[in-house]
Structures are given as structure tokens and as C-alpha cells.
């Protein structure tokens, strides 16, 4: 068998495009997985009583001239919605944080602990799927980088190319399932979670968008890799056919 050469520059260009998409998907997924901005919103929190010299709209004031006197009758001016204040919160896979009323900064707690017991198993499945998604993306990116720098034979390059395509497609499927499971768990936590956590208004945050952008890059990398594999096979078969035809003409082989 005579080796058939596929243009190295064209092959490297396709490989680099797939590797770049896979690397972007890996960076986006790690960033989203470690952040707590998958969902953002506000919570209605009861105002604390004003103490000392504290004034403003963040606490409940009294009309008593001596608020520290326990014998004095204290009348609250705020009624209805005036007793509550909106506090921003953000939640991710690992923890949920909200603005603190009495002091600066945020107060965070484990999101796993906030999840209803009946949905905690689904959340753990989502976490495991996210971890596998990241691991497979890393394996796929490594295989693509090896294939980019591996120029010995076309056949060996195709083997690596095929394996990286399978790994990347599997990673994309796991990522899609993981994101959908987390979405379901969060919505159930909003409805059935602790009373002191349930949000008044909420929407998906930048981490959630980044996670789905990672999935889109992963699938684009898979499509690019499969397209490169198919195109290389077709080029290989076409050049082999042309070589056989030229040999037949040269040595006048019979058509049979």
C-alpha cells in the first residue's frame, strides 16, 4: 500500500478549530461550575427594629421618645409591605448567598442543604454529571491537542480523531442532562424549600448562561471533529481511487 498524503496545513486548521471550541467549553464549564450565579433574584425580608442611632428605611422606627425604656409603649409606624425590604440573592450548585441586613457583605449557606430531601438525589446526580462533563471535555481537549501535533500517518491521526469525537459527543450529552437536572431541582427548591430562603422574584444568572454556552461550544467542537474525520476519509478514498486509476493506465491492467 502506498501512503496517501492529506494536506497538513488543512488538517491542522480543522484540528485547531475543534481544539479551540473544546478548550472554550472546558473553561466556561469550570467557571460556571465553581460560581454561585446560576440564579439571581430578590427576597422579601422583615425589617429589624431600629437600635441606637440607626435610621433610614432599612429598619422599623418607633414614635416613643425613649425606645430603650422597657416600660415605654412602642408604636410601629410601618404597616403591610413597609415592614419588608428586598434583598438580592444568588445561588449556584454549591451554595446560595444573600445580602445581610444588619451588616456589610453577604451571608452564604449550602444550596444542597436548602434542597428538599426528595430532590437531593437529583441534585447529586447533576453534580456527578457536571464533573464527568468537565473530565470528558478535558480528555477530548487533550486528544485534540495530540492529534494536532501528530503527523506520522493519516490512519493514526484518524483513530485519535474518531476517539476524541466520541468523547466530546458523550461530554455534550452529559452536560445537557446535568444542566436540565439542576434547573428542575432549583425550581422545586423555590416551591418547596425553606421559608426563610424562598425568593420573591428570580431569574437565571450569567453562570447559567455560561454553562449552556459551554454546551454549545462542546457540540460545535464535536461537529467540527466529526466533519474533519468524514472529510479526511473521503479525501483518502478519493486520492486512493485516483492512484489506482493512474496505475491501471500506466501498466494497462485489465478492467476486471
Say if residues 63 and 233 touch (Cβ distance below 8 Å): no
Domains contained in the chain, number = 1
Distance CA 34, CA 93 (A): 8
Say if residues 171 and 136 touch (Cβ distance below 8 Å): yes
What is the tens place of the pLDDT at every residue in 231-253?
Answer: 777 766 666 667 666 666 666 54
What local confidence, expressed as pLDDT, does residue 140 receive?
92
Residue 242 in any domain: the answer is no
Residue 24 in any domain: the answer is yes
Query: Residues 109-125: what's their mean pLDDT?
Result: 91
- Structural domain including 28 reads 8-37+116-235
- Whether the per-residue pLDDT at 38 is higher than 70: the answer is yes
Contacts of 226 (CB under 8 A, 6+ apart): 165, 169
Least confident of 38-47, 124-133, 219-228: 38-47
Residue 148 in any domain: the answer is yes
High-pLDDT (> 90) share of the chain, %: 35
Residue 209 in any domain: the answer is yes
Residue 53 in any domain: the answer is no
Residue 222 in any domain: the answer is yes
Distance CA 176, CA 168 (A): 12
What local confidence, expressed as pLDDT, does residue 226 receive?
87
What is the domain-level CATH number for residue 177? 1.20.140.150
Residue 59 in any domain: the answer is no
- Whether the per-residue pLDDT at 4 is higher than 60: the answer is no
Confidence of residue 46 (pLDDT cuts 50, 70, 90): low
Residue 143 in any domain: the answer is yes
Distance CA 83, CA 226 (A): 60
Distance CA 108, CA 95 (A): 7
Amino acid at each position: 500500500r502506498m501512503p496517501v498524503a492529506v494536506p497538513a496545513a488543512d488538517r491542522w486548521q480543522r484540528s485547531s478549530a475543534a481544539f479551540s471550541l473544546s478548550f472554550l467549553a472546558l473553561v466556561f464549564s469550570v467557571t460556571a461550575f465553581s460560581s454561585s450565579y446560576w440564579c439571581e433574584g430578590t427576597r422579601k425580608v422583615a425589617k429589624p427594629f431600629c437600635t441606637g442611632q440607626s435610621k433610614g428605611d432599612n429598619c422599623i422606627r418607633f414614635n416613643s421618645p425613649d425606645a430603650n425604656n422597657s416600660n415605654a409603649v412602642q408604636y410601629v409606624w410601618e404597616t403591610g409591605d413597609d415592614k419588608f425590604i428586598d434583598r438580592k440573592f444568588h445561588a449556584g450548585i454549591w451554595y446560595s448567598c444573600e445580602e445581610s441586613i444588619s451588616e456589610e457583605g453577604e451571608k452564604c449557606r449550602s444550596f444542597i442543604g436548602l434542597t428538599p430531601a426528595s430532590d437531593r438525589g437529583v441534585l447529586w446526580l447533576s453534580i456527578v454529571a457536571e464533573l464527568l462533563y468537565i473530565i470528558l471535555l478535558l480528555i477530548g481537549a487533550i486528544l485534540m491537542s495530540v492529534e494536532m501535533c501528530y503527523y506520522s500517518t493519516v490512519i493514526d491521526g484518524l483513530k485519535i480523531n474518531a476517539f476524541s469525537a466520541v468523547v466530546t459527543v458523550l461530554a455534550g450529552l452529559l452536560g445537557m442532562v446535568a444542566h436540565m437536572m439542576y434547573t428542575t431541582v432549583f425550581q422545586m427548591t423555590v416551591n418547596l424549600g425553606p421559608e426563610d430562603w424562598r425568593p420573591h422574584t428570580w431569574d437565571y444568572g450569567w453562570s447559567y448562561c455560561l454553562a449552556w454556552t459551554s454546551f454549545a461550544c462542546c457540540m460545535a467542537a464535536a461537529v467540527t471533529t466529526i466533519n474533519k474525520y468524514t472529510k479526511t476519509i473521503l479525501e483518502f478514498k478519493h486520492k486512493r481511487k485516483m492512484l489506482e486509476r493512474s496505475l491501471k493506465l500506466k501498466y494497462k491492467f485489465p478492467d476486471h
